[in-house]
């Protein structure tokens, strides 16, 4: 591959590191999809990254569409983020006392997302999901939760039913270690169909653009239908915007589509690559949280000084011009992928929602998890993935993930990606 990098540990190999990792970390990884089980081969161990590119320990350079599953919207090691984190670190990394930056970040989130009046900062999307459900239950005094097949809301017990992403990749409908009682109050409904919402439902939780079963946009009327069904039943509507938040536009999916939930989850983009997530919503609902109300929720590292510094730095870069640029890049990628596969007679669908791009093999649009599974089950993605990797392009190591072009991806990166795609698909 191009740009061999002499500075990145000349004696390292991915193979050796993966073997070493497997001795002390289950499967050699700290999150299952990284183990490459669904695409085969050995994961590349990243030595460093900059902008649109990552370099592995062997010195191979990849044009990176993983970007930490969307956490790095500016691209890797953006100087504004690096500087903010370095300066914050010098002032201490965690205190167990409130800081001004937490307030500034909460203000920045509430300013941008219409209807979100209060937020609480946490350290991962999983934590945001767990806490948002507890908040909805505490507020309504009800226990049932409706989620949608193929939507992923983190790995808390009650939400580990019918999930997408790694669970889909591993073909596990559920997880061992989760007692049936923990998901007994979780109803899984098909995506893009408004379910019946009964008077015992605390909340309906949805990815307003599903991005963990490949990319599946909400059908026209779906989100509006959920809003109406929740209102009729006195249930809360929760948008999981861990991926869409501050990516599909400054106001996230709720701003883009004009449907306002009662509660939101945010993550990925707002941490600028550090462990930070949030949940928020209407003041009246959020005030059930301790110390104001009786819903307990806490965290030693919540609102961490480094993470809030990174988050504020990222948000400072995300103006209208940035979103226009992201969408232009994503459109070039999506259009280019469509014509590349088209020219080779390989039927694919390439869904796009602003800066988010997906890829499904097969001729038919995908609107739910069953269709996503049919498309992803063919093995075609694994072949493409491995050939692209050999050509210096890193897509996610599983067919259920979206592509995350960043603000650092240039027209040259997109052009190189498209010629790699042509070469990959035509390879014998």
Ligand X SMILES: *Cc1c(COP(=O)(O)O)cnc(C)c1O
Interface with ligand X includes 242 (CB under 6 A)? yes
**CA pair distance 279, 237, nearest whole angstrom:** 13
Question: Which residue is at the shortest CB distance from ligand X?
Answer: 125
> 45: helix, coil or strand?
coil
Interface with ligand X includes 212 (CB under 6 A)? yes
Sequence-ordered strand ranges (E) for 91-155? 118-122, 144-148
Interface with ligand X includes 267 (CB under 6 A)? yes
Interface with ligand X includes 351 (CB under 6 A)? no
Q: Exactly one of 44, 65, 69, 152 is catalytic; which is it? A: 152
Number of residues that bind ligand X (CB under 6 A): 15
Interface with ligand X includes 401 (CB under 6 A)? no
Torsion sign (Cα): 330, 421, 384, 11: negative
32 vs 267, which CB is nearer to ligand X? 267
Q: Show Cβ contacts of residue 392 under 8 Å, excluding neighbours closer than 6 positions.
A: 1, 2, 60, 61, 62, 63, 416, 420
Torsion sign (Cα): 378, 192, 243, 302: negative
Interface with ligand X includes 404 (CB under 6 A)? no
Least separation in angstroms between residue 338's CB and ligand X is 24
Interface with ligand X includes 254 (CB under 6 A)? no
Known active-site residue 152: yes
**CA pair distance 104, 398, nearest whole angstrom:** 36
Number of residues assigned to the chain: 428
Interface with ligand X includes 72 (CB under 6 A)? no
> 105: helix, coil or strand?
helix
DSSP 267: -
Interface with ligand X includes 304 (CB under 6 A)? no
**CA pair distance 280, 112, nearest whole angstrom:** 12
Among 38, 67, 126, 297, binds ligand X (CB under 6 A): 126
Q: Annotate each residue in 132-161 with x if it binds ligand X (CB under 6 A) or - if it does not, as one string.
A: --------------------xxx-------
Known active-site residue 268: yes
DSSP 395: -
Enzyme catalytic residues: 152, 240, 268
Q: Which residues bind ligand X (CB under 6 A)?
A: 69, 124-126, 129, 152-154, 207, 212, 240, 242-243, 267, 277
């Amino acid at each position: 591959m191009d740009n061999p990098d002499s500075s990145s540990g000349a004696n390292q190999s991915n193979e050796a590191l993966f073997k070493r990792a497997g001795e002390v970390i289950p499967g050699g990884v700290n999150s299952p999809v990284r183990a490459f089980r669904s695409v085969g081969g050995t994961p590349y161990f990243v030595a460093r990254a900059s902008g649109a590119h990552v370099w592995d320990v062997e010195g191979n350079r990849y044009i990176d569409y993983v970007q930490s599953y969307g956490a790095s919207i500016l691209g890797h090691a953006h100087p504004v983020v690096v500087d903010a984190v370095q300066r914050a670190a010098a002032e201490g990394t965690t205190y167990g006392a409130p800081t001004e930056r937490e307030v500034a970040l909460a203000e920045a989130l509430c300013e941008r997302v219409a209807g979100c009046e209060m937020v609480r900062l946490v350290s991962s999307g999983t934590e945001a999901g767990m806490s948002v459900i507890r908040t909805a239950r505490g507020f309504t005094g009800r226990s049932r939760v409706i989620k949608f097949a193929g939507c992923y809301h983190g790995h808390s017990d009650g939400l580990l039913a019918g999930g997408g992403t790694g669970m889909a990749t591993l073909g596990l409908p559920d997880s061992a270690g989760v007692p049936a009682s923990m998901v007994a109050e979780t109803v899984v409904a098909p995506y893009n169909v408004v379910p019946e919402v009964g008077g015992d439902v605390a909340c309906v939780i949805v990815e307003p653009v599903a991005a963990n079963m490949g990319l599946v946009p909400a059908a026209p009327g779906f989100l509006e239908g959920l809003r109406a069904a929740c209102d009729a039943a006195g249930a809360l509507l929760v948008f999981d915007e861990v991926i869409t938040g501050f990516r599909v536009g400054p106001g996230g999916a709720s701003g883009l589509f004009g449907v306002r939930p009662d509660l939101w989850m945010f993550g990925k983009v707002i941490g600028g690559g550090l462990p930070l997530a949030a949940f928020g919503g209407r003041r009246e609902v959020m005030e059930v949280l301790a110390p104001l109300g009786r819903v307990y929720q806490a965290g030693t590292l919540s609102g961490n000084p480094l993470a809030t510094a990174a988050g504020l730095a990222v948000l400072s870069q995300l103006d209208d011009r940035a979103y226009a640029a992201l969408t232009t890049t994503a459109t070039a990628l999506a259009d280019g992928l469509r014509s590349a596969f088209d020219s080779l007679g390989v039927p694919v669908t390439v869904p796009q929602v602003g800066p988010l791009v997906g890829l499904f093999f097969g001729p038919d649009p995908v609107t739910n998890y069953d269709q996503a599974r049919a498309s992803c089950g063919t093995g075609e993605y694994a072949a493409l993935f491995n050939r692209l990797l050999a050509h210096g392009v890193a897509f996610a190591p599983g067919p259920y993930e979206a592509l995350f072009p960043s603000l650092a991806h240039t027209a040259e990166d997109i052009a190189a990606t498209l010629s790699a795609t042509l070469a990959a698909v035509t390879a014998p």
